[in-house]
Amino acid sequence: MRGSHFTELVAVLDQLRSPGGCPWDAEQTHQSLVEYLIEEAYESVEAIDANDREAMCEELGDLLLQVVFHARISQEEPGGWDIDAVIDGITQKLIRRHPHVFADETAEQANQVVNAADVELSWHQRKAKEKKRDSVTEGIPEALPALMRAEKLISRSKSVAAPDPAYLADTNQLIAGLHTEEQLGDYLFALVSSANSQGLDSEAAVRKAVLRRMQLIQSHE
């Protein structure tokens, strides 16, 4: 059943892109669709944050359309790839990155992966090896929002002993009273509000802090 629905989606988009189809769909390119890809991703996040299951179903469908759309465009290009290549690529990646599940490791190696944190660390290590990355800072998209990029960097660099600036020594004490995501959100909002009243750009500030942290991590790797 799932396969037939997906095949129908691909067939519909094929018709829209073919002669006699939709003029708007026919003229789209990878570049022209970027804004829609980003928009659909954020609308999916909004539905998830609202725990709106019906909206999640709709928005994830819109996001899936973007994947199929890009695959169709590439299929029309010389030497391009199609949706089957996209699916096969992610399937093989999942198998490679989960050797503790798909028996690609010895029992001793597999037993070292015992919880979600171990799985995440193993995933990043294998990804770095596959992509021949020399630093944990490589491959973090510059286009990510600053706070998201900071989260990604922190997650990636836990194994690197890079010291914080001295003036951040009391950070844990400052947020010691925050025990929930709601409290943290209000605290961060208050910081942004205070920064704004002083003419400071919070997004730019975090973005520059991430760059400084990247340089520090690279010097300690």
Reported as type and span, the H/E element at residue 76 is none
pLDDT attached to residue 158 = 80
Q: 112-155: per-residue pLDDT in tens?
A: 556 777 777 666 667 767 777 778 888 888 888 999 999 989 88
pLDDT attached to residue 145 = 92
Residues of the chain under the 50 pLDDT cut: 1, 107
Would you list the domain boundaries of the chain?
2-81, 98-130, 159-220
Q: CA 180 to CA 69: how far, in whole Å?
A: 40
pLDDT attached to residue 104 = 56
* Nearest residue to 175 via CA among 165, 185, 167, 166: 185
* Nearest residue to 134 via CA among 164, 160, 152, 162: 160
Q: CA 112 to CA 212: how far, in whole Å?
A: 33
Residue 48 CA to chain centroid, in angstroms?
A: 15
Q: CA 67 to CA 83: how far, in whole Å?
A: 8
pLDDT attached to residue 155 = 84
Percent of residues in the chain assigned helix, strand, coil, to nearest 5 = 70, 0, 30
Q: Decide: 134 and 194 in contact? Cβ < 8 Å.
A: no
Residue 217 makes CB contacts below 8 A (sequence gap 6+) with 135, 136, 137, 153, 157, 160, 162
Q: CA 92 to CA 102: how far, in whole Å?
A: 11
pLDDT attached to residue 124 = 67
CATH fold for domain 2-81: Helix Hairpins (1.10.287)
pTM: 0.70
| HSE toward the beta carbon, residue 63, CA cutoff 13 A | 16
